[in-house]
Structure 1
Amino acid sequence: MRKKDKKVLFIYSDSQYSNVALHWLANVYDKEVVVLKINLGEKEDKTQEKRELLALGAARVLQVDARNEFVEGYITKAIKANGIYEEKYPLTAALARPLIAKEAVKAALNNSIFTIAHGNSGNDRLRLDSYISSLTDRIKVIPILSKWDINDENLDSYVNTNKIKIGSNYKMFSISENLWGRSIEKGELEDISREPTNHLPVYVKDARDTPDKPTYVTLGFKSGIPISLNSKSMPLLNIIIKLNKIASINGVGSTDTIEDGIVGLKTHAIYEWPAAFCIIEAHKELERLVSTIHQNKLKPIIDNEWSYAVYAGLWYDPLLTSLNSFIDANNKNVTGKIRLKLHKGKLTVVGRESKHALYSKDVAIYRLGYNTADYTSMLEGFINIYSLHMRFANKNNKKR
């Protein structure tokens, strides 16, 4: 085996298999493993984690803080596109995969490594493998779960035999987390006929356990991007962190959904996305306020196509570039403030403000700057023209 093939860059994630996969790569597959740990906002102890990874067999650990790039290059696009797949999945993992692939390729080539391994399967394997191969043809990808036939039984055996430290929930759930949200899958959720129990490791509070008084938050936007929270300007990263806490305390931002997968059939998951939910709902409201009726009819169609493309692993496809061009142009005037009421698991928009608002109190109550007789005459003519096709169609149908 060539020396360059002996080294492997392993993309470490918070999945239930990562520690096991790392140990297997280093000790069974006999590779010199350089671990890449990318911080996208999940909770972590860098010092403790690095020691544990080295003990599992890692030759080196590369740690990259990509939170700002994740926010500025990926989450901002999702906000402008109201990025939600099938109305319930905020694309938390799907949105992170192109950045993870980009950082992995960069780290591998910078360290003269030409093999990348990961422990993802299904949709996430599709995304990562596709993105890496799109970014370079110099790197081979090893999807570990396809090389090693692993299931819950032999996972238990391997963990116990090798005394591998693994999360306490690994038998019960598969959990993935980043700044934009959190997904919980597998375990008892595989039985879709049953209501999930209280054993779910959730951080969005049950509505029954939330404060009795509502919480109000005001989000300020500029060209579609949040720039302030409660009239205080701050980086979007900080807005997301603060909103995750505020909304989760009030039970806002959790969905239980069955989704159509790209690889395989449907999957059942619970998504927790408190900040993302608040921001996207506020963005939708402001966008509707400043857009024409024709823009408001087309934009949701474009948003759905964008969300599907991201879910399906098409971040580097020219299609997304084209969709982003339209979406950016449509967000030019999405500037203003939206006030939200968070109470007992429910979000309600209670205030709207924008200098670009296509709303006028006078027009809304039919003043139009004209006297009543003028307005009545104008409206009568408009109705005659507007109903022309319908009237002709009904006359023709009656003749048959």
Structure 2
Amino acid sequence: MSNESRERAILVGCQLQNVDDERFHYSMEELASLTKTANGEVVLVTSQKRTKYHSALYIGTGKVEELEAAIEELEPEVVIFNNELTPSQIRNLSARLGTRVIDRTQLILDIFAQRAKTKEGKLQVELAQLQYLMPRLVGQGTELSRLGGGIGTRGPGETKLESDRRHIRKRIDDIKQQLKVVVEHRKRYRERRKKNEMFHISLVGYTNAGKSTLFNRLTKSDVYEQDLLFATLDPTTRKFVLSNGMTTLLTDTVGFIQDLPTSLIAAFRSTLEEATEADFILHVVDASHENYKSHEITVSKLLNDLEVKNIPILTVYNKIDQVHEGFVPSPEEGFIEMSALSENDLEKLRHRIESDCKQYMEHYEAFVPATEGKLIHDMKKLTLIDDIRFDEENEIYQLTGYVFKEHSIYDTVKRYRNYKEQ
């Protein structure tokens, strides 16, 4: 996309004493990436160190004067602040700067508004936007109208946002009702999936870690993938066959991000819950990113907040072919280093998933008569088979492998353990 069609943006950060330089620098870089994803062109990045945020202006009055001069010279369409601003800060800054002012939360909401494709995704984004805007409506007039266009003003449907509180409350209630139906549908779908008893694997990770690329390569799918933050918003589930033939389900989920707005976590809870319902989690980390370590911590914290417990997690250090020079894998976690673009590495990952799964399964040896074709097919599909041999004399298949105790096929497998002796 040409720069002419991009919105010119000034980025503003405020570094408090308790935030180290590296974390702050990375946070501003991420704000620039978010701006690019929202189709903005960064024309200036400016920041200030303070002991605490200015209650009325977020940054000091001297810095605001600097900004006023920069705005006069550079004529940006929008000024984006790196932290969530209070309603009064947005009002005061808008009045002083005479241009559109948004914060990090609004920017992320805007990207989600562009990315949402499903009805559920659009409703969730609109709910998060309305909940964010609600306390910021007083005295804003038409500034928050979606008719204005541009970064921070987009939303599903592109309809005018009425500033009447009752109207917004009613809309929030309507969306919550619609989402309740969609969430119930998702719950039923998950229950049906569990009933089908297919092993379920979830891909989680920081935004832009390469989850969708990995998902596409493993499932031969065509989920949207691009080097942009939040390229995937709506979760997608496809069949994924392991090396030995066992069929599993693989789900690609929305990327996590540092300081993900609370309203978004709440709105996307049912989507994020895809991870909590999984039997196995692949935590994808971009090994080429200088801040990969803090990405890992952010995702682990969010999984913890979602109360993901007792689910095996394998950390997948992706993009190892472009690995960051300071990269050191976390020693306490089970991990694999790979590139989603390498077929050999994908095969290595399939084998690793199998070997990790075996720790939670029971080993079996079963003797199945050749007449039981459907059972042999089911065992190939629903258990991890190590070896199959055919005894021609007795017309019996000898299968050795691993089976989940919770699986309904477990009792059948047990029944055929001693078949040869009958």
Taking structure 2 as the reference length, what is the TM-score of the superposition? 0.26
Q: TM-score, normalised by structure 1?
A: 0.27
For CA contacts below 8 A with separation 6 or more, give which structure has more relative contact order. Answer: 1
